[in-house]
Amino acid sequence: MIKDLYKEGYTQNRELSWLGFDDRVLQEANAPEVPLLERLKFISIYASNLNEFFMIRVGSLTQVKQIKIDQIDNKSGLTAAEQLKLIYKAVGTSIRKRDHIYQKVLKEAAKKGIICLSLNDCSKRELKHLNKYFDAKIKPLLSPQIVDLYHPFPNLRNGAVEVAGMAMKKGQTVFAVVTIPSTLSSVIALPSDGKAKIRYVHMEDLIQYAFPRLFPGFKIKDTAKIVVMRNEDVNADDDAFDDIVDYRKKMRKVLNQRQHLSPVALFASAHMSSEMKKYLLQHLGLEAKQMYVTSYPLDARFGFELPEMFDEADEDLFPPYAPKLSASLNYHQKLFPQICRHDVLLSYPYESMEPLLLLVKEAADDPSVVSIKITIYRLAKQAKLVEYLCRAAENGKEVVTLIELKARFDEQVNIDYSQRLEEAGCTVLYGFSEYKVHSKILLITRSVKNRIQQVAQIATGNFNEKTAKQYTDLAYFTADSGIVKDAEAFFRNMMVGKLDGHYRHLLVAPVSLKSSLLQMIDREIAKKEKGRILIKINSITDEELIAKLSQASQAGVQIQMIVRGICCLIPQIKGKTENIEIRSIVGRYLEHSRIYLFGTARSEKMYISSADFMTRNTEKRVEIACPIMDTEIRRRIDSYLQLCLEDTVKARRVGKDGKYHRIASDQSIDSQDWMMQETKGSHQHLQASDGRQAKVIGVFHTTYSPKKKNKKA
């Protein structure tokens, strides 16, 4: 740790940077070039990010404050209490901004026939329809509760939308509440009136409207919609779970325990009596500054569920785009031998994950394949990959799956998959007690006439078929002898719990990744003005890496960074970071790829990785950075990075104030749109992994030229 880094004047607080990025997401919700329904999605992304922020970061800071640890943030010099004070204020301002943008979008939507109704605005006919719908489809799923001498205050579930009210009976006032099940949709479409595109009401509004019917015999004084956010900062390594031997059981207990941790915030609808507010704050142990009143729906799924009610070609949605199959492979032939002959790069979501699935399916049925080894962090809820891994095990292959049960918010999904894989005969490992396994690596081994053939795939993102269509990531397939030997050693080390293994080519955290990055920065520092560093990551918080990059800047090294989210490094500070330029891209897809580039020409070193420049990645996780060996693939990635740096539409420049600023340019270049438009190649048919016929359309085989203006869809 660098002592008193904040005194250097080129760093900012992590939590406030996170909130600054959330504000950047809101900019997309307010961007006129973004289709109307997509703007609602960005507001929901903001809401989801804010919920996660309270559960993880505010929860952790609250604990530090409560146990009175004498600890300050090394990037801002703030104590936990001081950080919380600034957070509460910043969130209040941000929510007011969010509500203003939401009301603006609602008005624009109404002009286009997308009409949100309150129950008071519904006609008698519509109310009759909704009442029938409530009685038949909703009421049987609800469990209303009251709080009195015999009914204690309930444990309001973390993140669940509740409708609460004060109820009177025989002169006594009690608290009444009902939880809205997550199985219910967030919106209800009303019968067409023949004029509007859609008229709809929110599920939470309907349940609030029908609330008195859930408490017969009581007079309801007032009602409100609420959401309690709880601290989720508990993990399986806590002493409370030491008596549990089975790791899956331990994780199930952790998930249950999280529902009972201390509240850290209360979100409420715009109308709430002072009596109910006082009652809730008292029983939840919260202060007034921890309560936020909003006009936005409390169910954050709304912004995604409403657009799903429209045809995908609707003008108020992004134009449909289907990932294309890479033209680097011939799908009428086996894939494994082709990868043995030449490396392959897939660029998600512009290219499909289908080749990976085809490769694993092919390996599952190939008599010569002896083993498949893979690390799993996040999977789609319906994962064909798991089916093929199970199939391989059932066909007698050795299948080793290192599945991380501590992947936050995906714990239950991974617990379920681990059991399924184990039942199919796979060897299932759970990682390490203090280190999450976040690496994305696959190794397939064949034995042909006593000759071993191996292919590895190393990626920047998860083996997740859903997010591969939503996140920008790179997946590198290679049979390079040095890399596959390192991959083999990696899995061998993981199986025996060895974290300090030696690798010739792969950089592996927690041992060699950070030290290697520092050494490569030092090599550029030695070149002074001739040095070059180009980094694309999601976040940067690691103090040593920040200090080293500042040192490089002071030596004259030109540093360009594309940092999507949290950025504790402030660029353009004279004498400190003036040679560092930082941009952030937020667009239709979530920028997720991590790419490290050091040097130029023959001295250039390029890596793709699963790791951000965060201490949790460099010191507390098992991560991998893989060198790109193939010259043509390096050229393609170089071109892609240049395109990102030329973006003038969705990119923002991080200023010396730490905030995001628009980029002035006479060109309109949208890097994500450019990638979607640059599709070309032969159209051929193949049998896809799910048995359907699909077309092969090559993509990403042209290179971006700064002189080439962006094409518009």
Q: Please say whether the dihedral angle defined by the alpha carbons of residues 550, 555, 556 and 561, taken in this order, is positive or negative.
A: negative
User: Model confidence at 249, in pLDDT bands (50, 70, 90)?
Assistant: low
Indicate whether 648 pLDDT > 90: yes
Q: Is the pLDDT of residue 167 over 50?
A: yes
Rounded mean pLDDT of 556-561? 98
pLDDT on residue 607:
98
| Cα atoms found within 13 Å of the Cα of residue 12, Cβ hemisphere only | 22
Q: Give the list of residues 6+ apart from residue 497 with CB closer than 8 angstroms, or none.
A: 432
**Short-list 702, 560, 697, 562, CA closest to 632:** 702
According to the model, what pLDDT value does residue 67 have? 76
Task: Please report which confidence band the pLDDT of residue 711 belongs to, taking 50, 70 and 90 as the band edges.
Answer: very low
CA dist 276 and 266 (Å) reads: 13
pLDDT of residue 642: 97
From residue 195, how far is each of 21, 108, 115, 123, 191 by CA, in Å? 39, 16, 11, 15, 11
CB 208 within 8 A of CB 220: no
pLDDT band for position 410 (50/70/90)?
Answer: confident
Q: Looking at residue 709, what is its pLDDT? A: 44
> d(Cα 355, Cα 518) in Å, to the nearest integer?
35
**Percent of the chain beyond pLDDT 70?**
91
Alpha helices in 244-353 (DSSP H): 247-258, 274-284, 302-305, 335-341
Between 631 and 713, the more confident residue is: 631
Residue-wise pLDDT for 342-368, tens only, equals 999 999 999 999 999 999 999 999 999
- Which pLDDT band holds residue 262 (cuts at 50, 70, 90)? confident
Q: Of the given ranges (16-25, 127-136, 330-339, 428-437), which has the lowest mean pLDDT?
A: 428-437
Secondary structure class of 466 (helix, strand, coil): coil
Residue 433 has pLDDT above 70, yes or no: yes
CB 432 within 8 Å of CB 402: no
Q: Which of 593, 582, 605 is nearest to 524 (CA)?
A: 605
Backbone angles phi, psi at 412, to 5 degrees: -65, -40
Torsional sign, CA 492, 496, 497, 503? negative
Q: Which residues pair with 446 in a beta bridge?
A: 369, 453
pLDDT-derived band at 106, boundaries 50, 70, 90? very high
545 pLDDT more than 60: yes
CA 245 to chain centre: 31
CB 713 within 8 A of CB 677: yes
Q: Are 75 and 543 in contact (CB under 8 A)?
A: yes
pLDDT tens digits, 460-500: 999 999 999 999 999 999 999 999 999 999 999 999 999 99
Return d(Cα 400, Cα 375) in angstroms, integer: 8
User: Would you say residue 1 has pLDDT above 70?
Assistant: no
| Phi, psi angles (nearest 5°) of residue 456 | -120, 150
Q: How confident is the model at residue 539 (pLDDT cuts 50, 70, 90)?
A: very high
Written as one string, the DSSP assignment of 527-595 is HGGG-EEEEEES-B--HHHHHHHHHHHHTT-EEEEEE-S-B-BPP--TTTTTTEEEEEE-SSSEE--EE
In order of start, what are the domains of the chain with their CATH numbers? 5-309 (3.30.1840.10), 335-495 (3.30.870.10), 507-696 (3.30.870.10)
Instruction: Read off the pLDDT of each residue in 172-177 and give the average, rounded to a whole number.
Output: 94
Q: How far apart are CA 624 and CA 617, in angstroms?
A: 10
Neighbours of 327 (CB within 10 A): 19
pLDDT reported for residue 629: 93
The Cα-based distances of 540 to 297, 417, 446, 546 in angstroms read 32, 32, 39, 8
Q: Alpha helix locations (H) across 620-681?
A: 631-646, 671-677
d(CA 521, CA 531): 9
What confidence score (pLDDT) does residue 696 get? 39
Contact 480, 633 (CB under 8 A): no
Mean pLDDT score of the chain? 91
Residue the block writes with tokens 């299932």: 428
Residues, the chain, total? 713
Sign of CA dihedral 546, 550, 552, 558: positive
Catalytic residue among 271, 438, 502, 683: 438
Rg of the chain over all Cα atoms, to the nearest angstrom: 27
Judge whether 291 and 277 are in contact, CB under 8 Å.
yes
Q: Is the pLDDT of residue 381 over 70?
A: yes
| Whole-prediction pTM | 0.91
Nearest to 257 by CA among 274, 240, 282: 240
> Region 544-560: what's the mean pLDDT?
98
Give me the amino acid identity at 622: V
Give the dihedral sign, CA 484/485/491/494.
negative
Query: What pLDDT does residue 678 have?
Result: 83
Task: State the average pLDDT over residues 599-609.
Answer: 94
User: pLDDT value at position 432?
Assistant: 85
Greater pLDDT, 207 or 415: 207
Residue pLDDT, tens place only, 11-53:
999 999 999 999 999 999 999 999 999 999 999 999 999 999 9
Residue range 660-670: average pLDDT? 93
Let me know if 129 is a catalytic residue: no
Query: Quick one: average pLDDT of 241-267?
Result: 63
- d(C-alpha 539, C-alpha 537), whole Å: 6
Burial of 575 by CB count in 10 Å (0-12 exposed, 13-18 middle, 19+ buried)?
A: exposed
Residue 554 clears pLDDT 70, i.e. is over it: yes
Region at 85 (left for phi over 0; alpha for psi -120 to 50; beta for the rest): alpha
Residue 685 pLDDT more than 80?
A: no
C-alpha span between 257 and 93 (Å, rounded): 32
Structure tokens belonging to residue 71 = 């600890």
| pLDDT for 698 beyond 60 | no
Within a 13 Å sphere around the CA of 475, how many CA atoms are in the beta-carbon half? 29
User: Among 146, 177, 148, which Cα is nearest to 161's?
Assistant: 177
Encoded amino acid at 492, one letter: R
Q: Which residues contact 233 (CB under 8 A, 6 or more apart)?
A: 56, 59, 60, 63, 261
Mean pLDDT of all residues in 394-415: 88
For residues 163 and 171, what is the distance between their CA atoms, to the nearest angstrom? 22
Average pLDDT on 498-514 reads 96
